[in-house]
């Protein structure tokens, strides 16, 4: 099973108000195991960067000036996600922006049924507790010290770890029984484990033990069938 953990950064909260995506980051999971494959792109939104948004992600209008437009990267994005489930924290927000960009670029919208919302999972699992990405990293002791700003790829990598914990821990999706890519990767990992070699253990028999054994055969096993055959 292939899933894509996804995050976006934007110029604001509402695409209907003219706000746009400026960054997309994706991490691939196969059978809930990170494969190391990622997708990351910055996007020129053809508009200014509000101060409120810059304070969140630190991406400036000047930095984005020479970056590609969404129409230039949309096919690469579609090719990467394929038909995989999309694992997103607060999925409604990101899906709204993605589908707004798709519409403007002339592509059909992605159905919400493709999205797995980790925010909803966390709220159901820990009702009444903080469920932000930072809060979940703290809960699961995931190091997010490098997250001084929001960043789509970094947040996707952190969310991938959180997602695996929400499902019950990293061992949840080893998938060793299958012959698919995830199972093959997991099997390869296990095959690389170095087994500790131990020296052969010798159990020397003492003279007293040898004598006791001989006495038992001669005195206690007089009717043994194997002794009659040997005679």
- Looking at the annotation, which residues are catalytic? 150
CB 162 within 8 A of CB 140: yes
Q: Closest by alpha carbon to 116, among 10, 6, 1, 40?
A: 6
> CA angle, corner 82, sides to 77 and 88, nearest 5?
70
Task: Print the SS3 string covering 166-198.
Answer: HCCCHHHHCCCCCCCHHHHHHHHHHHCCCCCCC
Query: What is the token pair recorded at 44?
Result: 């020129």
Query: What is the token pair recorded at 62?
Result: 């000047």
CB 137 within 8 A of CB 158: yes
- Provide φ and ψ at 33, rounded to 5°: -120, 125
Beta bridge partners of 87: 5, 116
């Amino acid at each position: 099973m292939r899933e894509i953990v996804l995050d976006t950064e934007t110029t604001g909260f509402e695409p209907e108000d003219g706000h746009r995506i400026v960054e997309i980051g994706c991490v691939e999971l196969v059978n809930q195991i990170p494969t190391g494959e990622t997708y990351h792109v910055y996007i020129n939104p053809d508009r200014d960067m509000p101060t409120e948004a810059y304070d969140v992600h630190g991406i400036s209008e000047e930095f984005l000036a020479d970056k590609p437009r969404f129409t230039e990267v949309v096919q690469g994005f579609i090719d990467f996600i394929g038909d995989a489930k999309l694992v997103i924290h607060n999925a409604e927000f990101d899906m709204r922006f993605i589908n707004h960009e798709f519409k403007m670029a002339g592509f059909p919208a992605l159905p919400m049924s493709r999205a797995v919302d980790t925010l909803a999972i966390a709220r159901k699992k820990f009702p009444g507790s903080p469920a932000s990405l930072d809060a979940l990293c703290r809960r699961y002791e995931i190091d997010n010290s490098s997250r001084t700003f929001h960043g789509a790829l970094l947040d996707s990598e952190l969310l991938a770890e959180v997602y695996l914990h929400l499902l019950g821990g990293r061992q949840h999706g080893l998938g060793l029984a299958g012959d698919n890519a995830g199972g093959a990767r997991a099997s390869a990992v296990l095959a690389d484990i170095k087994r500790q070699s131990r020296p052969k253990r010798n159990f020397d028999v003492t003279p007293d033990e040898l004598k006791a054994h001989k006495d038992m055969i001669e005195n206690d096993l007089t009717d043994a069938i194997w002794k009659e055959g040997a005679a």
